[in-house]
Structure 1
Amino acid sequence: MKPLVLEVDSLTKHFPLGGGLFRKPVHVVQAVSDVSFTVAAGETLAIVGESGCGKSTTGRAIMRLTEPTAGSVKLDGEEVTALSSGRLQAMRRNMQMVFQDPFGSLNPRMTVRETLMEPILLHGVASGERARHWVDELLKTVGLAEHHADRYPHEFSGGQRQRICIARALSTRPRLIVCDEPVSALDVSVQAQIVNLLQDLQQKLGLAYVFISHDLSVVRHIADRVAVMYLGRIVEQAPAEQLFADPRHPYTRALISAAPRPVPGLRTASEPPEGDAPSALNPPSGCAFHPRCPLASDICKQTRPELGSVGAGGTLVACHHADAPAPVALEPAPPVSASLAARLAVLAAARQAAE
């Protein structure tokens, strides 16, 4: 059994609104509530859900870019939430982050070499000629050349900029990388290259990933386990293969149903639920999904379900009707390779038509 790198227990992040210096806040946004999971060395846990479900806030709270309201985050057994600012800076050598927008996360006034040298020198990874050599090795590792080191971010494509961000994350030799929508801002033709690069790096270096995404085709390809979030809480957690083959929570089924299918005529499952997610300012009583759920009953409106084991596949579900069959059987989605190949074929046909 691989050692645990990350242990998250009852992580909570609430944002107060209104009030003042001597007054209590008028409202509280319950962005993340009681989120718990673990990630082992060489494992990828994907966090998925609609926009506003709290998945990016969870990633930032793990890194303490946003201070958690409550809960525990342990990296290699050491409590991250209790660290002083100095000790936290030292700990960040072992945990790094790759952001969604590669251009926005790079300083436009710094060359690639300066960008990569900054964390290397800050954390004492190397110095002098060894640091310069380490920069060159990092660029080769992510598929760039040594001469790219003296260029600025605006001189690169989106995919190349994300490779630079990945190189920066690798510069301190971390144990954990939190990837917050790392391919959603990229062209479809580049997404597969970045995902394959992340997988290759994981195999070589034994990295643990928390992979935040809304693209289920990418998640299915890269994830070992998947946690599905709705309105700040995990409603289902399972091995990736198990989750896509037999989703148990109605919200998970809705996400899979809403995912685009690249093969013409391929039928999806039941229609996605109507309406928008409730506000995190005033979440519904009981199960937060009950206003949109086709299986909702009186108990769903009154009592919030807790995560519990369902079946023998390691699935955890927070649903009073987790044993209920899906309204319409899910047709198996094509492999991600076929999905990406179909997307690339459409792009190629569009380019030929334009020419």
Structure 2
Amino acid sequence: MKPLVLEVESLTKHFPLGGGMFRKVKNVVQAVSDVSFTVAAGETLAIVGESGCGKSTTGRAIMRLLEPTAGSVKLDGEEITEMSPGKLQAARRNMQMVFQDPFGSLNPRMTVRETLMEPILLHGVASGERAQKWVTDLLKTVGLSEHHADRYPHEFSGGQRQRICIARALSTRPRLIVCDEPVSALDVSVQAQIVNLLQDLQQKLGLAYVFISHDLSVVRHIADRVAVMYLGRIVEQAPAEQLFADPRHPYTRALISAAPRPVPGLRTAVEAAEGDAPSALNPPSGCAFHPRCPLATAECSQARPELRQVGDGGALVACHHADEPAPVVLETAPPASATLSARLGVLAAARAAAAETAKA
């Protein structure tokens, strides 16, 4: 069994809202509530859900870019939430983050060399000529060349900028990388390249990933386990293959149903959830999903379901009706590699058609 790199227990992040002269707290946004999971070395845990469900807040709370309201975050057995600023800076050598917007996360006034040298020198990874060589090696590792080192972020494409951000995350030789929507701002063809790069790096370096995304086809391709979040809570957690083949929570079924399907003829009879998610300022009583759930009963509106194991595959589901069979059967989806290949095929066909039109 691989050693655990990250242990998150009952992580909570609430944002108080104040007003008036004395800034008294009037209300609280319950962004993340009682979230627990673990990630082992060489494993990828994907966190998925609708916009506003708390995915990114969870990632930032793990890194302590946002201070958790409550809960425990352990990196290699060390408690992160109680560390002093000095100890936290030292611990950040072992945990890094890749953000959604590569251009926004790079300093436009720093060259690539300066961007990569900063964490290397700050954490004492190397110095002098060794540091310069480490920068060159990092660029080669992510598919760039040494001559890119003295350029500025605006001189690169979106995919190249994200490679630079990945190189920066690797610069301190971390054990854990939190990837917050790392491919959502990129073209389809570039998405596949970045996902494959992340997988190659994981196999080579034994990295642990927390992969935050709303793109289920990418999650299906890269994740070992998937945690589904709804209104700040995990409602289902299972091995990726099992979750896509046999989702047990109604919200998970709705998410999979709503995902775009590039393969012609692939359909599902499960209906997407109607309406918008409730406000985190005033979440519903009981199960937060019950106002949109086709299986909801009086029990769902009164008692909040806790995560419990369902079946023999290790799935954890927070639903009073998780043991009941799905109202309809999901059609068999193609392998993740086929899905990504189909997406690239659509792009290639469009380019070929455009070329033919230009010739005509």
Q: Report the TM-score range of the alignment, normalised by the length of the smaller protein.
A: over 0.9
Q: Cα offset for 1:119?
A: 0.3
- Partners in 2 of 1:103 and 1:332 — Cα distance? 38
Runs (5+) with no aligned partner, structure 1: none
Partner of 1:188: 188
Letter aligned with residue 242 of structure 1: Q
RMSD: 1.0
User: Secondary structure of 1:26's match?
Assistant: strand
Shift of 1:129: 0.6
1:129 is aligned to 2:129: yes
Q: 1:343 and 1:276 mapped to 2: Cα distance?
A: 28
Amino acid at match of 2:285: S
The equivalent residue for 1:27 is: 27
TM-score w.r.t. length of structure 1: 0.98
Deviations 1:275-324 (A, max 9, x none): 10000000000000000000000000000000001011000000000011
CA–CA distance in 2 between the matches of 1:273 and 1:212? 21
* Greater mean deviation of Cα atoms: 176-185 or 257-266: 257-266
Q: Deviations over 1:81-108 (max 9, x none)?
A: 0001111111100000000001110111
Amino acid at match of 2:310: V
Corresponding position of 1:68: 68
Indicate the percent of aligned positions where both proteins have the same amino acid: 89
**CA distance, structure 1, for counterparts of residue 115 and residue 155 of structure 2:** 14
Partner of 1:148: 148
Pairing of 1:326-341 with structure 2 (within 5 A): 326-341=326-341
1:54-76 deviations in Å (ceiling 9; x for gaps)? 00000000000000000000000
Deviation at 1:351, TM superposition (A): 2.2
What letter is aligned with 2:243? L
Instruction: Name the structure 2 match of 1:257.
Output: 257
For 1:239-279, what per-residue CA distance to the aligned partner results, in whole angstroms no more than 9, with x for missing partners?
Answer: 11111111000000000101111112211231102110000
- Tell me how far apart the structure 1 counterparts of residues 267 and 25 of structure 2 sit (CA, whole Å): 48
SS at match of 1:332: coil
Map of 1:45-64 to 2, 5 A cutoff? 45-64=45-64
Whole-angstrom distance in 1 between the partners of 2:347 and 2:20: 53
Which amino acid in 1 is paired with 2:99?
A: F
Task: State the match for 1:167 in structure 2.
Answer: 167
* 8 A contact 1:261–1:333 mirrored in 2: no
**Contact between 1:305 and 1:320, CA under 8 Å: does it hold in 2?**
yes
Q: Residues 20 and 127 from structure 1, CA distance in 2 versus in 1: closer, same or farther, beyond 3 angstroms?
A: farther
Deviation, 1:327, is 1.5
How far off its partner does 1:349 sit? 2.5
What corresponds to 1:197 in structure 2?
Answer: 197
Q: Does the 8 Å contact 1:176/1:207 carry over to 2?
A: yes
Which residue identity lines up with residue 250 of structure 1 in the other structure?
P
- Distance (whole Å) between structure 1 residues aligned to residue 162 and residue 43 of structure 2: 21
Equivalent AA in structure 1 for residue 242 of structure 2: Q
The answer as to whether partners of 1:11 and 1:36 remain within 8 angstroms in 2 is yes
Q: TM-score, normalised by structure 2?
A: 0.97
Cα separation, 2, equivalents of 1:204 and 1:242: 26
**Matched letter for residue 90 of structure 1:** A
Tell me, yes or no, if structure 1 residue 106 matches structure 2 residue 103: no
Aligned-pair CA distance for 1:130: 0.5
- Conserved in 2, the CA contact under 8 Å of 1:47 and 1:212? yes
2: distance between equivalents of 1:102 and 1:240?
27
- C-alpha deviations, 1:195-232, integer Å up to 9, x for none? 11101111111100000000111101110100000000
Equivalences, count: 355
Matches within 5 A, 1:276-355: 276-354=276-354, 355=358
Q: Distance in 1 between matches of 2:236 and 2:113?
A: 42
Q: CA deviation at 1:175?
A: 0.5
Whole-Å Cα distance in 1 between the matches of residues 342 and 210 of structure 2? 27
Distance in 2 between the 1:112 and 1:23 partners? 43
Cα drift, residue 22 of structure 1: 4.3
CA distance in 1, matches of 2:267, 2:19: 50
Query: What residue is the counterpart of 1:117 in the other structure?
Result: 117
2:245 paired with 1:245: yes
Is 1:266 the counterpart of 2:272 in the alignment? no
